[in-house]
Chain A
Amino acid sequence: DAGVIQSPRHEVTEMGQEVTLRCKPISGHNSLFWYRQTMMRGLELLIYFNNNVPIDDSGMPEDRFSAKMPNASFSTLKIQPSEPRDSAVYFCASSLASNTEAFFGQGTRLTVV
């Protein structure tokens, strides 16, 4: 398996634009996590899915952020409209179950100017 695949690897966008980050989890994994990492706040959990259902989205900063998992092999994190303070590295991770080892993707480095 190629591991967790995220796209794009880098994204530069202007303030106010919509940004969509994509994640393909490892096949057979039932849990999927989206994280954001910045120097100031470290690694923050944004949202966590189990069997395609959002379980905990308390980490989603505000209504500008939304995440979907339409099927077991794909998830998106959307920011609309984007703001400079959204600049960060966004990681997607998946695991067989919610209490087992999580495998992280390479991340998407988002820069909002």
Chain B
Amino acid sequence: LAKTTQPISMDSYEGQEVNITCSHNNIATNDYITWYQQFPSQGPRFIIQGYKTKVTNEVASLFIPADRKSSTLSLPRVSLSDTAVYYCLVGDSQTGANNLFFGTGTRLTVIP
């Protein structure tokens, strides 16, 4: 099972770009990388998923280097409402599931 390592917490000012990096040294060939966001008292919410290179949607970008041993979630111009915990997950090659194991997550605090 590929484990993930993320910083425990990060602070950023409003309007800044925030990059959260996740390490997954044991990622398997078929594993995808998925990021979720969780606000207090709510369930996690899907942000973005990718396999390699770069993926962008209306919320974030995901950068994955060629060796796929890490990934970086990029949030452009954060606002106070982006204060949340961000989780990086990699797939489980045995079952093929991508939504199984949440790590400790990164608690992002956006400061006015």
Residue positions of A touching B, CB distance < 8 A: 4, 31, 33, 35, 42-45, 48, 55-56, 91, 93, 95, 98-107
Determine the chain A residues whose CB is within 8 A of the CB of B42 once the complex forms. Answer: 104, 106-107
Determine the chain B residues whose CB is within 8 A of the CB of A43 once the complex forms. Answer: 44, 87, 102, 105
Determine the chain B residues whose CB is within 8 A of the CB of A42 once the complex forms. Answer: 102-105
Main secondary structure of the interface of B (DSSP, over half): loop
CB within 8 Å for A101 and B104 given contacts A31-B97, A95-B99 = no
A102 to B98, CA, bound (A): 9
- Contact-residue bracket for chain B: 20 to 34
Determine the chain A residues whose CB is within 8 A of the CB of B49 once the complex forms. Answer: 101
Q: Is the CB of A104 within 8 A of B44?
A: yes
Which of A44, A93, A105, A106 interacts with B99 by CB under 8 Å?
A: A93
Determine the chain A residues whose CB is within 8 A of the CB of B103 once the complex forms. Answer: 42
**B43 beta carbon closer than 8 Å to chain A:** yes
Residue among B46, B91, B97, B105 facing the most chain A CB atoms (10 A cut-off) = B97
**B76 beta carbon closer than 8 Å to chain A:** no
**B45 beta carbon closer than 8 Å to chain A:** yes
